[in-house]
């Protein structure tokens, strides 16, 4: 048998916690010396201790844990509960990570407001282009909502084009439109330029994007999570130079880096007209 100190180390818990579990009837020692009061535990009791810790980590109270264990939850059921909790925690972590990235991007944008210039904005004509595209719906226009939706679209798009024997003829192009008239949902279009001879591709939409007479453009370097900074610089240039948006916006990925987005290069295009 093991002393309470040795058992605590083996079970990776504190002695104080084991004493508390004993006092509430959750995990009694195997024996107690009647003269010294020392508690002793058997190795087989680690099995119950593991279940106590696992169930507690699921968010259950100790009273609930005791009730469950006294009803003898089998290993398969406990494994299922832990997998469910793992999935919940992973989803929460991903959401928190996305929120943190959005906050950091917004902070960088605020910190750079005084340093943003409009010297890199260029007016140009945009030629018509044929694209192959896949679409999906994002909850909103916010970067943390757009990113997880658009990122898997491009690998799948390129996979389908490759299966059809079609090689892109130009850069990837993304654009967005409201999913409906009432909510914040957004239809995300993930496209890539293809040759004019491409008419149809299995499970892929082929369409022609029209020419644009005048577009204000700016080249954004880095992850699209930081694109708001460039978008706001573009907006300020448009206002300062007497233009107004004309309802057309695209992201042209001049250097698409899926594995290292911080090295990407993207041209932001916004159709404009004189105010």
The pLDDT of residue 109? 54
Q: 143 and 102 in contact (C-beta within 8 Å)? A: yes
Res. 207: pLDDT tops 80: yes
Res. 63: pLDDT tops 90: no
Residues paired with residue 70 on neighbouring β-strands, in sequence order: none
Q: Which CATH superfamily is domain 117-274 in?
A: Regulatory factor, effector binding domain (3.20.80.10)
The pLDDT of residue 72? 63
What average pLDDT does this structure show over 199-221? 94
The pLDDT of residue 118? 45
Q: What is the pLDDT of residues 149-177, one digit of tens each?
A: 998 999 999 999 999 999 999 999 999 98
pTM given for the model: 0.59
What average pLDDT does this structure show over 250-260? 86
The pLDDT of residue 42? 92
* pLDDT mean across residues, the chain: 86
Supply angle C-alpha 121, 126, 131, rounded to 5.
120
| Secondary structure (DSSP) of 133-145 | EEEEEESSSSHHH
The pLDDT of residue 38? 94
Res. 106: pLDDT tops 70: no
Domain map (residue ranges) of the chain: 2-73, 78-111, 117-274
The pLDDT of residue 73? 64
What average pLDDT does this structure show over 12-27? 91
CB-count exposure of residue 228 (10 Å: 0-12, 13-18, 19+)? middle
* Separation of alpha carbons 86 and 78, rounded Å: 12
pLDDT-derived band of residue 102, with 50, 70 and 90 as boundaries?
A: low
Res. 112: pLDDT tops 90: no
Does CATH place domain 2-73 in 3.30.160.160? no
The pLDDT of residue 56? 85
pLDDT-derived band of residue 114, with 50, 70 and 90 as boundaries?
A: low
């Amino acid at each position: 048998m093991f002393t309470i100190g040795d058992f605590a180390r083996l079970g990776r818990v504190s002695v104080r916690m084991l004493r508390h579990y004993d006092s509430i009837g959750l995990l009694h020692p195997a024996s107690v010396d009647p003269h010294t009061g020392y508690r002793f535990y058997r190795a087989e009791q680690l099995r119950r201790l593991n279940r106590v810790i696992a169930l507690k980590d699921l968010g259950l109270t100790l009273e609930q844990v005791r009730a469950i264990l006294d009803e003898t939850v089998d290993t398969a059921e406990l494994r299922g509960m832990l997998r469910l909790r793992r999935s919940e925690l992973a989803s929460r972590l991903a959401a928190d990570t996305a929120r943190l990235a959005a906050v950091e991007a917004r902070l960088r944008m605020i910190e750079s407001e005084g340093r943003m210039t409009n010297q890199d904005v260029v007016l140009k004509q945009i030629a018509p282009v044929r694209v192959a595209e896949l679409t999906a719906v994002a909850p909103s226009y916010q970067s943390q909502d757009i990113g997880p939706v658009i990122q898997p679209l491009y690998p799948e798009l390129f996979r389908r084009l490759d299966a059809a024997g079609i090689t892109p003829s130009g850069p990837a192009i993304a654009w967005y439109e409201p999913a409906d008239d009432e909510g914040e949902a957004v239809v995300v279009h993930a496209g890539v330029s293809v040759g004019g001879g491409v008419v149809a591709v299995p499970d892929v939409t082929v369409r022609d994007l029209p020419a644009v007479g005048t577009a204000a453009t700016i080249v954004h370097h880095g992850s699209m999570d930081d694109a708001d900074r460039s978008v706001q610089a573009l907006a300020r240039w448009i206002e300062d130079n007497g233009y107004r948006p004309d309802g057309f916006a695209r992201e042209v990925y001049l250097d698409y880096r899926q594995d290292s987005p911080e090295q990407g290069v993207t041209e932001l295009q916004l159709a404009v007209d004189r105010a």
